Amino acid sequence: MKSIKIVSVFAFLITLFTFTSCEKVIELDLNDAETQIVIEAVISDFNNENYVKLSKSANLSDSTNGVKITDANVYVTDQNGVNFQFTHQGNGYYTNNDILTSEQQTYFLTIEYGDETYTSEVTTTSKNNIDYMYTFGYEDLSTDVPNDSSYLLFFSFLDDASEENYYRVRLTVNGVKSESLYLGDDALANGSSISAPLFADFLSKGDTALLELISLDAASYEYYYTISNTEGGAFAPTPANPVSNIEGGAIGYFAPLLVDTMTFVVQ
Amino acid sequence: MKRILFFVLLFTVQWVDAQDFTVSGNVKDATSGEDLIGATIRVKNMPQYAAITNVFGFYSLTLPAGDYVLEYASISFAKQEASVSLTENITKNIELEPSAEVLNTVEVTGEKQDENVKSAEMGVDKIQVKDLDAIPVLFGEKDVMKTMQLLPGVKSAGEGNTGFYVRGGAADQNLVLLDGAPVYNASHMLGFFSVFNSDALKDVKLYKGGAPAQFGGRLSSVMDIKMKEGNMKNYSVSGGLGLISSKLTFEGPIVRDQGSFIISGRRTYADVFLPLFKGKSEALAESILYFYDLNAKANYKFGDKDRVFISGYFGRDKFGYADQFGFDWGNTTGTVRWNHIYNEKLFGNTAFTYSNYNYKLNFGSNDQTYQIGSQIQDFNLSEDFNYYLNSNNTLSFGGNIIHHTFMPGDLETGSDVDFVLNDLENRYSLESALYLSNEQKVSKRITMIYGLRYSNFTQIGPGDVYSYDVDGNVIDTTTYSNLEKVASYNGLSPRWSMSYLLNEKSSIKASYARTYQYLHLLSNSTSSLPTDVWVPSSNNVKPQIADQGAIGYFRNFKNNTYEFSAEAYYKYMTNVIDYKDGAEVTLNPTVEGDLLFGIGRAYGIEFLMKKKQGKFTGWVSYTLSRTEKKFTELNSNNWFPAKQDRTHDASIVLIYNITDRLAVSGTWVYYTGNAVTFPSGKYEIEGETIYYYSERNEYRMPDYHRMDLGITLKNPKFKTITDPSTGEEKQVPKKFESSWNFSVYNVYGRENAYSISFEENEVTGQTEAVQLALFKVIPSITYNFKF
């Protein structure tokens, strides 16, 4: 699984090496792009995580990330023609409590706003399940406290050999969600029993970790994968917009999640 | 050997002249025995007859029977005359003495002074490694690749970076050769140093345009670097102690005047100080960060006609973070070369070269480890001939064949990791070429170099080869067996350049060249990284092709004290590579599906004014240029500026020798910022601010400028002794020579942008651009010695 970006390593090397480096805010004359409709649509089989967030993009000089769209008509249809209407809860946030995603199913998203209609179609893969989790303890160098152990959390699962699989892993430690975006595919390990560490999070003794292994379809995986390219920087790829799976001219994504969870207490 | 006969016959039919005889031989440095490259041999009072030594110091000059006085000359060496009586073919080996007091002599001997006007070559930059000494550089680490960037048409890839762009070409379009072996990643420490230890180098030549037909395989330039051969006369040790690194060179004869060797090593030691951080930052204290280089070369003469050279380079960067993370990378090259003088007119050079670049990444510790390795490896056999047909025609011909192996990803896990990662498949290919070229003095005013190069590139099995649809998805997989042909490309590259002498002091030149490039470096990031991937041309990736035309005006002033040149070029490129949005180039088995192919064009005009002689030397260079690309998939199929597009690029280099012991120098560079992609809007996903981009490369980095200063102080070369027999005081040269070099990089502390990132202001919520500048004022000191 490709779960670590070596970019951060290079950044570290650079700061080590260039002891005189300095940062400052500069004035740049940046253009204002045309306003875009932004869609964040997720349906799931866990915890009733079915929501659609609608907003408009903003200029860089604006103090917010854009105005919310509160008056759209949002619904998801499954492959049997069953309609799931989303209702606006306020602040551009729409929900539905009835959808439960399942394996190898196709879902259609429709959003009607103004004169425009935005659509997306996704098909789920099979659901892959976590087999077990374990930790690996070592002396933590980042805290500068000698002999203070940190734990790296590993999880293991069997990849489905019959198809290409795409994964996202979410970690919640003591009720706090990790900000790290863990992604992986089976291109180099199809059908294997895969075990991988969550490199960017360090746990302490007694922590309770909730791990969600999310099986994604190829298109929503690509969206998550390419969203990390929107920041740019000396060692990052040329920044670009993430690859959207929405039709009709909006940006954003529609992702069906198949979530398997496991809880682990660091001993 | 049949091929030789064929070529020889072809041309002897036309040129048989029984009354001509040939004088040939070697020209060398009398103190070190090193071959002199580009030394001139002229017939006194008959300027139409002249020859130049090749890269192995060999020359051949054919003249009608008679008595002549030959003048042997080379820059910084005293001119020497020799009388020859040509009643038969003769061999004349010459050793030139360095001109003793170069600085005090008004007229520097060295006859190639008007070479830039008279030679048919254009778009060529040469650097003699000893000229590097005076020029101030970052951390005092003199570097041919950085000095090259001060010349017109050659642009730095970034702050402190050894990567370079030539006439709008990308960084991977430069063929960097060390003793004939390609160097695939010429940088240490992410580009702040080049892999070339200048103490081990002799001569560097950069072809920016019409490279001779002998060279091929890259679109934009050839950087031909030759290592020193080693002192043929005496043992000598030289070295330098610097802030960042130290180096030591040992050279000497194997058998005096028959063979010699040189070994040169260099290592940085910034990491030596890291343990000092113990207790303050454990992370720093436990880090590893250094690089080292080793150059070695030996040569031996077997009789008068044969000489064998063996040379090698090994260098490695090592970076580690405690026992959890390790990263090291480096090049290895090796060359075995056999020079043979078939007869007084035919010089042959057979070489076998090896080149390897690899990197290794390790994560984890104990048996819980993951290791990623990648490498590219070449075996190359080449055969080159120079045939000195007569004083008006010098033929070069030959060919080569290279076997490439690409290992994009070799993945290993420790014994405690209970799954196996599949390696990325190796790729294999064969690259071969044949060429023929002639340098002809057409008339008193016109000299031409023309040639033809034929090249072939064949991707071979074994392996699974994919086909892709327009979206980059694999639609078909074909399995090929060992040595089976997958895809093959041919290229015919004409090369032509000409000079027309307007008068003794000025000339007009023109050139045209077509070049093919079969290997492509995938580097999707702004900086060059050790993990950038070389991919070969394949069923999906076509070779890049460039056509370049150039015209130039060359003029020397004041008895060749000043050189002026202006060259204009236009280059058109096809099948240039860019990336789909968000393409991943590292460890991606289907990376070819993420590539885009388009066209490129580059044009510009370069000016150079150089003062070569006197106490005050240096140059001013300026380039006005444009480089653009066009892709169906990008920026609505409009031309857009390439990353390396820089409108203005200027540099000034001044060296003032106050006395023969003290020299001061200064450089100033200025260039337009690179074209870059910045956001034009923002929105929110999962509660995070995400930037919105409208077009690629629609913005500019801020303009770059910087001044460096340096002082070199040589300790006295002579000491005064009293002759015990006569009681007379006299000056004798010291055996031990030494010098101090002080330099300051970025004297006025300009904060040049290395990268620009965007973040939200915590108070206003507005997006701000944050610039990272790497180097403010950096002083350094170096001590060099030789005995």
pLDDT given for residue A7 in this prediction? 45
More confident residue, B332 or B8: B332
In chain A, the N- to C-terminal Cα span, in Å, equals 26
More confident residue, B718 or A266: A266
Distance CA B355, CA B381 (A): 12
Q: Which residue has the tokens 């290395």?
A: B754
Closest CA–CA distance from residue B129 to any residue of chain A (Å): 27
pLDDT for residue A8 is more than 60: no
SS (H, E, C) B489-509: EEEEEEEEEEEEEEECCEEEE
pLDDT given for residue B9 in this prediction? 34
DSSP code, position A203? B
Q: Please state the rounded mean pLDDT for residues A21-45.
A: 89
Q: Which residue of A has its CA nearest to B268?
A: A17
More confident residue, B106 or B576: B576
Whole-number Cα distances in Å, B468 to B457, B539, B581, B594, B637: 21, 10, 17, 10, 21
Q: How would residue A20 be classed by pLDDT, with cut points 50, 70 and 90? A: low
Q: Which residue has the tokens 């001569």?
A: B203
Tokens coding B707: 């001044």
Neighboring chain B residues of A14 at a CB cutoff of 8 Å: 190, 774
Tokens coding B413: 């896990």
Contact B770 A24 (CB under 8 A): yes
Residue A202 near residue A36, CB atoms below 8 Å: no
Q: For residue A141, give the nearest of B283, B529, B679 by CB distance.
A: B283
| Residue % of chain B over a pLDDT of 90 | 32
The helix (H) or strand (E) run that includes residue B144 is helix B144-148
Q: How would residue B19 be classed by pLDDT, with cut points 50, 70 and 90? A: confident
pLDDT for residue B526 is more than 60: yes
Distance CA B455, CA B382 (A): 13
Whole-number Cα distances in Å, B315 to A153, B295, B318, B360, B561: 37, 8, 10, 14, 40
Residue B622 near residue B670, CB atoms below 8 Å: no
Neighboring chain B residues of A60 at a CB cutoff of 8 Å: 679-682, 691, 758, 766-767
Contact A58 B287 (CB under 8 A): no
Contact B681 A58 (CB under 8 A): yes
pLDDT given for residue B420 in this prediction? 64
pLDDT given for residue B594 in this prediction? 86
Neighboring chain B residues of A63 at a CB cutoff of 8 Å: 764-766
Distance CA B17, CA B342 (A): 19
Contact B774 A21 (CB under 8 A): yes
pLDDT for residue B221 is more than 80: yes
Interface test with B, best of A3, A28, A176 (most B CBs within 10 A): A28
Interface test with A, best of B138, B419, B579, B701 (most A CBs within 10 A): B419
Tokens coding B114: 């008007």
Q: Could you tell me where the DSSP H helices lie in chain A?
A: 7-17, 218-227
Contact B289 A13 (CB under 8 A): yes
Q: What is the pTM of this model?
A: 0.84
Q: Please state the rounded mean pLDDT for residues A97-115.
A: 93
Residue B783, strand partner residues: B241, B740
pLDDT given for residue A138 in this prediction? 64
pLDDT given for residue B106 in this prediction? 29
pLDDT given for residue B383 in this prediction? 94
pLDDT given for residue B202 in this prediction? 86
Q: Please state the rounded mean pLDDT for residues A170-190.
A: 85
pLDDT digits (tens, 9 = 90+) for A63-79: 989 999 999 999 999 99
| Residues 75-114 of chain A whose Cβ lies under 8 A from any Cβ of chain B | none
pLDDT given for residue B362 in this prediction? 82
Neighboring chain B residues of A236 at a CB cutoff of 8 Å: 525-526
Distance CA B448, CA B442 (A): 7
Neighboring chain B residues of A193 at a CB cutoff of 8 Å: 418-419
Mean pLDDT of chain B: 84
DSSP code, position B9? H
Closest CA–CA distance from residue B763 to any residue of chain A (Å): 9
Residues, chain A, total?
Answer: 267
Distance CA A235, CA B720 (A): 58
pLDDT digits (tens, 9 = 90+) for B440-469: 988 888 999 999 999 999 999 898 888 888
Q: How would residue B398 be classed by pLDDT, with cut points 50, 70 and 90? A: very high
Closest CA–CA distance from residue B38 to any residue of chain A (Å): 40
Residue A259 near residue A212, CB atoms below 8 Å: yes
Contact B684 A38 (CB under 8 A): yes
Instruction: Check if A130 contacts B (Cβ < 8 Å).
Output: no
Torsion angle, CA of B763/B765/B766/B769, rounded to 10 degrees? 70
Q: Please state the rounded mean pLDDT for residues A84-90.
A: 94
pLDDT given for residue B631 in this prediction? 93
Interface test with A, best of B291, B418, B466, B767 (most A CBs within 10 A): B767
Q: For residue B757, give the nearest of A2, A232, A243 by CB distance.
A: A232
Q: Which residue of B has its CA nearest to A40?
A: B685
Tokens coding B741: 């070099």
pLDDT given for residue B189 in this prediction? 78
Q: Which residue of A has its CA nearest to B757?
A: A233
Q: Which residue of B has its CA nearest to A243?
A: B581
pLDDT digits (tens, 9 = 90+) for B735-777: 788 888 888 888 998 998 888 888 888 888 889 998 888 888 8
Q: Please state the rounded mean pLDDT for residues B402-431.
A: 82
Interface test with B, best of A9, A18, A34, A55 (most B CBs within 10 A): A18
pLDDT given for residue B322 in this prediction? 67
| Torsions phi, psi for B636 (to 5 deg) | 50, 40
CB atoms within 10 A of CB A203: 22
pLDDT for residue B389 is more than 90: no
The ipTM is 0.90
Contact B777 A20 (CB under 8 A): yes
Contact B775 A21 (CB under 8 A): yes
Residue A166 near residue A217, CB atoms below 8 Å: yes
Q: For residue B531, give the nearest of A6, A34, A227 by CB distance.
A: A6
Distance CA A73, CA A50 (A): 15
pLDDT given for residue B109 in this prediction? 33
State the count of interchain CB pairs (< 8 A) between A and B: 244
pLDDT given for residue B323 in this prediction? 66
Contact B682 A21 (CB under 8 A): no
Strands (E) located in chain A: 22-26, 37-43, 51-56, 73-78, 83-88, 93-95, 106-113, 116-123, 130-139, 149-158, 166-173, 176-177, 182-185, 193-197, 208-216, 251-256, 258-265
pLDDT for residue A144 is more than 80: no
Instruction: Check if A147 contacts B (Cβ < 8 Å).
Output: no
pLDDT digits (tens, 9 = 90+) for B316-350: 988 877 666 788 889 999 999 999 989 888 899 99
Closest CA–CA distance from residue B360 to any residue of chain A (Å): 12
pLDDT for residue B6 is more than 90: no
Residue B568 near residue B562, CB atoms below 8 Å: no
pLDDT for residue B378 is more than 90: yes
Distance CA B183, CA B174 (A): 10
Q: For residue A226, give the nearest of B581, B684, B778 by CB distance.
A: B581
